[in-house]
Structure 1
Amino acid sequence: MSTREVSLLLAGPSGQLEALYLDLPEARGLALICHPNPVQGGTMLNKVVSTLQRTARDAGFATLRFNYRGVGASAGAHDMATGEVDDAEAAANWLLAQHPELPLSVFGFSFGGYVAASLAARLEAKDVELEKLFMVAPAVTRLGADDAFPQQCTLTVIQPENDEVISPAAVFAWSESLERAHELLKVAECGHFFHGKLTELKDLILPRLSN
């Protein structure tokens, strides 16, 4: 069985979206992965995104990662708001169309955490069942107090304690204020990009995908 992703160009709201897709014949679920801030060089090839993809693959999930508008071969220009969520929704719809019988989980790193949470809320509002949401070092300050937030899926938040990009204190305070059930995992002696900690990140996520 091949575990090599294939390159795709998907139809997006601003034109084509560049993506990498792994189809597992006996997949137990679907994983969509949202990458970090495109203005700061974030792409679907980011090493944290790649770790999330491999972790989902090893748990038996078919995976899809993609570049937002204006990144790589994806058409359009950066929006840094709802436009990237629109892109993620198009990618999710494509993935669900390939495997309508399988449950969807969504992952987001940094800015992608905002995108993933916003997408999850949209999907729930449209009665699309979402199994799990993983927010890794998420840009929680982009989530407004009045913004919809998913309530039905299992939520795991993973935050490095020495994050130099996203304020750990802001993430911890946001977690404390979140009224829905969730799990907050703090990673000690770890910066935003999980240098030297990618194996630990995988070890945190893998059992939560396998249960």
Structure 2
Amino acid sequence: MPEVIFTGPAGRLEGRYQPAKEKNAPIAIVLHPHPRFGGTMNNQIVYQLFYMFVERGFTTLRFNFRGIGRSQGEFDHGSGELSDAASALDWIQSIHPDSKETWVAGYSFGAWIGMQLLMRRPEIEGFFSIAPQPNTYDFSFLAPCPSSGLIIHGDRDRVAPPKDVQVLVDKLKSQKGIVITHKTMEGANHFFQDQTDSLIANCSEYLDQRLAGELSDPKLKRLR
């Protein structure tokens, strides 16, 4: 797993990158939790999501947002971090121009950034939004949500209460042209304490089903 340094809007960004063997393999980027609360690309959930994609033949990147690890810059309350994510995607696409499909996975704060990136980049075909926080962050930009994906969280999440996530899910499920899969993990808190393996198993099952052509209508095209 090569360590990489690439240019972001506020200076260099530090990442870990694993290219796929196939030139036209899909791309996945994984976004970490809140930088002010200990979030880094080495978060265990981010780390395992990274390898979930690698094991399925994706060209995969995780990186530190500005101000974390060897990434330059300072925390920018989401705006700069979204620009970091866009730069990360630009960088990996420049190395893999034959890739036609992209996925984004984000956990907590990273889920909010990932969903914003989704709105900006029409090549993103699927997403994982893990423990999103619609009670803390504004998700009204998803109007409409342009791609199908998985929203997964715990029923004991006190950081992002299940009732608030359910409101977001209901809103997205009412939209046409996409399929939102929603899973609530029994007994899991915001950090998936003692349940990380189960979380990754749920995510892996969803990804395998999507790659097999299930869970989304092949007649549905991504909204442009």
Using the size of structure 1 for normalisation, the TM-score is 0.90
Q: 1:45 is matched with which residue?
A: 42
For 1:100 and 1:130, the matched residues in 2 are separated by: 14
Amino acid at match of 1:86: S
What is the DSSP-based 3-state SS (H/G/I as helix, E as strand, rest coil) of the residue aligned with 2:146? coil
Measure how far apart 1:166 and its partner are: 1.8
For 1:182 and 1:25, the matched residues in 2 are separated by: 30
For 1:50 and 1:167, the matched residues in 2 are separated by: 25
Structure 2 CA distance for partners of 1:52 and 1:13, relative to 1, 3 Å: same
Q: Mean alpha-carbon deviation: is it higher for 191-200 or for 130-139?
A: 191-200
Q: 1:205 is matched with which residue?
A: 203
Q: Which of 148, 154, 161 is residue 154 of structure 1 equivalent to?
A: 148
Runs of 4+ residues over 6 Å off in structure 1: none
Measure how far apart 1:151 and its partner are: 3.3
| 8 Å contact from structure 1 (residues 160, 188) kept in 2 | yes
Q: 1:78-111: CA deviations, max 9, x gaps?
A: 0122110000000011111122222110000000
Identity value in percent: 31
What is the DSSP-based 3-state SS (H/G/I as helix, E as strand, rest coil) of the residue aligned with 2:94? helix
For 1:56 and 1:200, the matched residues in 2 are separated by: 16
1:77 correspondence with 2:74: yes
Amino acid at match of 1:137: A
Query: How many residues are treated as equivalent by the alignment?
Result: 202
For 2:180 and 2:148, the matched residues in 1 are separated by: 7
Segments of structure 1 that go 5 or more residues without pairing to the other structure are none
What is the DSSP-based 3-state SS (H/G/I as helix, E as strand, rest coil) of the residue aligned with 1:44? coil
For 2:86 and 2:144, the matched residues in 1 are separated by: 14
Q: 1:15-43: CA deviations, max 9, x gaps?
A: 00010101121373211001000011100
Measure how far apart 1:148 and its partner are: 4.4
Measure how far apart 1:149 and its partner are: 5.0
Segments of structure 2 that go 5 or more residues without pairing to the other structure are 212-224
Cα RMSD for the two superposed structures: 1.6
Using the size of structure 2 for normalisation, the TM-score is 0.85
Structure 2 CA distance for partners of 1:174 and 1:115, relative to 1, 3 Å: same
Amino acid at match of 2:152: I
For 1:149 and 1:32, the matched residues in 2 are separated by: 23
Q: 1:140-162: CA deviations, max 9, x gaps?
A: 241242x2456332221011111
